[in-house]
């Protein structure tokens, strides 16, 4: 079983869609934990609604490519994710495999660990909540150290929503 981390984001009905995505993950694999959910400004498009972002930790027997194409893409499709040429377009859900065990890879379709972790606090900070001592494969750096260097500006923790989401998931998983 591999330990993997999934970045989750939504800015179209985010409360509903983040919850639905986490429930779908819990039905398909072993969900270990979910970080605090943060409300963040949309990248590059401040006129768009803000995002809800978090990270989920799972255990899986699937390969990284299978996680992306056989698990995450179908969940996105189920939640009506529409992919366009505009990588900053609003979305019902965005699910990205950001870390997969101790694997470092770049096959053109999938880069692990996701290099955006170094630049995007909405990935690094929630990831560090779940696994502060995790050393990123290929970099030799602890995620806790990476997150400590990033600013929380533009990130607002949604503590009540996060607590309710975690309670809801724990009831469903039992």
Decide: helix, strand or coil at residue 91: coil
Q: Does the annotation mark 81 as catalytic?
A: yes
Q: Are 22 and 56 in contact (CB under 8 A)?
A: yes
Q: Does the annotation mark 109 as catalytic?
A: no
Q: Does the annotation mark 27 as catalytic?
A: no
Q: Of the residues 19, 81, 114, 120, which is catalytic?
A: 81
Q: Does the annotation mark 133 as catalytic?
A: no
Give the 3-state secondary structure of 17-84: HHHHHHHHHHHHCEEEEECCCEEECCCCCCCCCCEEEEEEEEEECCCHHHHHHHHHHHHHHHCCCCCC
Peptide bond before residue 113 is cis, with ω within 30 degrees of 0: yes
If we measure between CA atoms, which residue out of 31, 50, 26 comes closest to residue 39?
50
Q: Of the residues 19, 94, 114, 120, which is catalytic?
A: 94
Q: Of the residues 3, 30, 41, 96, which is catalytic?
A: 96
Q: Of the residues 19, 91, 114, 120, which is catalytic?
A: 91
- Residues marked active site are found at 81, 91, 94, 96
């Amino acid at each position: 079983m591999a330990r993997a981390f999934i970045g989750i984001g939504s800015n179209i009905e985010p409360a509903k869609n983040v919850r639905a995505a986490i429930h779908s993950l819990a039905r398909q694999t072993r969900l270990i934990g979910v970080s605090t959910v943060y409300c963040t400004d949309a990248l590059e498009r401040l006129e768009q609604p803000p995002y809800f972002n978090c990270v989920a930790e799972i255990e899986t027997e699937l390969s990284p490519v299978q996680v992306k194409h056989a698990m995450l893409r179908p969940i996105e499709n189920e939640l009506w994710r529409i992919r366009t040429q505009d990588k900053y377009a609003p979305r019902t859900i965005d699910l990205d495999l950001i870390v997969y065990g101790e694997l470092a890879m770049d096959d053109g379709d999938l880069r692990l660990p996701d290099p955006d972790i170094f630049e995007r606090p909405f990935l690094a900070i929630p990831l560090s909540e779940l696994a502060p001592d995790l050393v990123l494969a290929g970099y030799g750096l602890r995620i806790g150290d990476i997150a400590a260097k990033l600013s929380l500006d533009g990130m607002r923790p949604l503590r009540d929503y996060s607590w309710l989401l975690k309670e809801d998931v724990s009831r469903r998983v039992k």
